[in-house]
Amino acid sequence: MSAKNTALQHHFNDLDQQYQASQLGMWAFLVQELLFFGGLFAGYVVYRNLYPEAWTLGSHELDVSLGSTNTAILILSSLTMAMAVYWAQKGQKTKLVLFLVATLILGCSFLGIKVIEYSHKVQHHLLPGNGFSFDSPLADQVRIFFSFYFAMTGMHAFHMIVGAGILIWLIVQAMKGRYTAEYNTPIEMFGLYWHFVDVVWIYLFPLLYLIGRN
């Protein structure tokens, strides 16, 4: 009962109203995120249609095995996050913390692999900018491919980094016993965010790595 009272903010009538407000707010935020990435996807589509050959050349420079590994890691992290939400709703503190930590580790692994990929690209002079060079008559167009590659995956990685930061905070709160079977809204809302970021990658991976390889 006391947990209920501390979790309820003064301007809501009851926890249910507060929960529903958080849920709608999170979904509205995700819609906003969708349109934010949507601008990049729209640009991608336009240039893919303008320069299909350059897109093929660019795709071949990407490391499919690292990309696939990262895809698997992210899907696994979605599973651990879903488990975290489940155990939060059951009020099992230890298991909640365990799965949050697992999610954090998987997220950081993804970012680590991404750093390796980025450094390879930089070494091969594929980072758009003054240092960019690509041995092909289509070099300028391939540069645009890599502009989208870095803008899209970079924006995705930024969301992962923000997510990892929030995860650390949630783990600390969970260890303090802040989340119970009655009140676990932040865990569930963060789960929505985490799944959204995963889904963005699920689209980025085939668009950048796979399509056009054949």
Range 12-71, binding other proteins (CB under 8 A): 12-13, 17, 20-21, 24-25, 28-29, 31-33, 35-40, 42-43, 46-47, 50-51
Residue 169 binds other proteins (CB under 8 A): no
In the range 122-151, which residues lie near other proteins by CB under 8 A?
128-130, 140-141, 143-144, 147-148, 150-151
Site string for other proteins, 100-119 (x = CB under 8 A): --------------------
Return the HEC string of the chain: CHHHHHHCCCCCCCHHHHHHHHHHHHHHHHHHHHHHHHHHHHHHHHHHHHCHHHHHHHHHHCCHHHHHHHHHHHHHHHHHHHHHHHHHHHCCHHHHHHHHHHHHHHHHHHHHHHHHHHHHHHHCCCCCCCCCCCCCCCHHHHHHHHHHHHHHHHHHHHHHHHHHHHHHHHHHHHHCCCCCCCCCHHHHHHHHHHHHHHHHHHHHHHHHHHCCCC
203 binds other proteins (CB under 8 A): no
85 binding other proteins? (CB under 8 A): no
Nearer to other proteins, 65 or 130 (CB): 130
Summarize as ranges the residues that interact with other proteins (CB under 8 A): 9-13, 17, 20-21, 24-25, 28-29, 31-33, 35-40, 42-43, 46-47, 50-51, 128-130, 140-141, 143-144, 147-148, 150-151, 155
